[in-house]
Structure 1
């Protein structure tokens, strides 16, 4: 599927990777539905999208709120008639020390990294099932394959999202709905610039956006990138867990 002349819902579009994806897709004459919490940033992005030749609809929404997500999907359908493609690009991965964090912080992390996906999946599946077509992509993380130190709650939420997308892919295969799971490695976003976590093999936001669009257009089941990180994850999954754990601990700061 070429992402050209499509109606595309972009959740988490106001900054970072989502913003870069929007600007790259705007060059392909698409109808973009820009969804995030910050209206000013969305309005600025909408102007840039339209200057590049695409149409833009702005919807202010908190992805962690079920009612907000359902409203956003309904508004997009009312405005455009249908949604061809959705990219659910919501997530946050602060450092967690399990000896000092709280259950409240962990629940919040689960809301952001897992339930935000659920909130959009349900109305999107209902819509695309009636049309018997559609593509839903989710920006996951390579952390969803391993329990990373200082990233335990984040890794757990991303693993849950990975399994849910796998199940959706099987259940809705006959409805011609495609599910693409995108797994970036470390990306140089403003949010993680000073989080204190090592970022080996880091790539730029623009390069990550190119990978995401490629994964969506290829309708790959799972797209892990960049290639260097993809092979490291595959190797880690083959190694004994003790050895993988020992290697991961090497990257931890001495004062964690």
Structure 2
């Protein structure tokens, strides 16, 4: 399925992105690894075990839209095509609405929504020309429900669903696919790097995150969903049940969320 395919992974320096890089390498993919920290990308490149010619370390800030067209051309010059784009770059928050500085919401939307949109628009003409391609977008269970202290994060992930559901409909007859991935609690550093109400780093790891699904198991399930052509997949533990409660028993979920304790 992925052998000799070119897979571009954003947020590849840690967490789910890093796990995807290792999993895809085992299946023979050629990789483009992007994130802001080049030293961490180099570490991940070594961890994949791929020969140098099969992996491109491409530092990238998804909020720098002016730089994306040049980055796409760099990938095409190296590999000649882009088959998969795994969009994992993202940040979260830990703050109440009443306390949150507007700049925090702007940052969350810039990284989690406008960044993936801009990269998609930069890559889309190439995929349409080659009449194939697959966007795999990491949303969240929070992209389906609203949770205390994550208002901006939830908003940015909800927005992803609207955009990529629309894109899926537009390119359905062009050979392109879109898969939305909604992880629950996965063992990654996302909570410790969350934004506080003032925009500073939260610096704490959530207990639920620490006890969550290992990132490599999450990556395995993502690739299984992509290989089977799934449009949307929910990955995690009992927290994913919240999506079904929202659909079939919304009042029950609302009561549960209201009674949820505020994190200190």
**TM-score after normalising by structure 1:** 0.91
Equivalent residues in 2 for 1:46-85, closer than 5 Å: 46-51=45-50, 55-85=54-84
Contact map agreement 2:191 2:209 (CA 8 A) in 1: no
Alpha-carbon distance in structure 2 between the residues aligned to 1:46 and 1:183: 26
Q: Is 2:245 the counterpart of 1:246?
A: no
Closer, same or farther: CA 109–126 of 1 in aligned 2, 3 Å:
same
Structure 1, unmatched stretches of 5+, are none
How many equivalent residue pairs? 253
Q: CA RMSD in A?
A: 2.1
Task: Indicate the residue corresponding to 2:201 in structure 1.
Answer: none
How many angstroms does 1:171 deviate by?
Answer: 0.5
- State the SS of the aligned residue for 2:82: coil
- State the SS of the aligned residue for 1:99: helix
How many angstroms does 1:201 deviate by?
Answer: 7.4
Alpha-carbon distance in structure 1 between the residues aligned to 2:15 and 2:30: 20
Provide, for residues 149-174 of structure 1, a one-character-per-residue CA deviation record: whole Å limited to 9, x for no partner: 11111101100001111000001111
Structure 2, unmatched stretches of 5+, are 193-203
Provide, for residues 89-120 of structure 1, a one-character-per-residue CA deviation record: whole Å limited to 9, x for no partner: 11111212111111111111111110111111
Contact map agreement 2:33 2:41 (CA 8 A) in 1: yes
Contact map agreement 1:197 1:252 (CA 8 A) in 2: no
How many angstroms does 1:72 deviate by?
Answer: 1.9
**TM-score after normalising by structure 2:** 0.89
Structure 1 stretch 66-75 or stretch 183-192: which is displaced more? 66-75
Alpha-carbon distance in structure 2 between the residues aligned to 1:53 and 1:65: 27
Q: Is 2:217 the counterpart of 1:207?
A: yes
Contact map agreement 2:35 2:41 (CA 8 A) in 1: yes
How many angstroms does 1:9 deviate by?
Answer: 0.7
Contact map agreement 2:185 2:237 (CA 8 A) in 1: no
Provide, for residues 62-102 of structure 1, a one-character-per-residue CA deviation record: whole Å limited to 9, x for no partner: 01111233222221011111111110111111212111111
Alpha-carbon distance in structure 2 between the residues aligned to 1:72 and 1:175: 24
Task: Indicate the residue corresponding to 1:225 in structure 2.
Answer: 235
Closer, same or farther: CA 202–196 of 1 in aligned 2, 3 Å:
closer
How many angstroms does 1:236 deviate by?
Answer: 2.6
Task: Indicate the residue corresponding to 1:98 in structure 2.
Answer: 97
How many angstroms does 1:60 deviate by?
Answer: 0.8
- State the SS of the aligned residue for 1:175: coil
Closer, same or farther: CA 208–88 of 1 in aligned 2, 3 Å:
same
Task: Indicate the residue corresponding to 2:198 in structure 1.
Answer: none
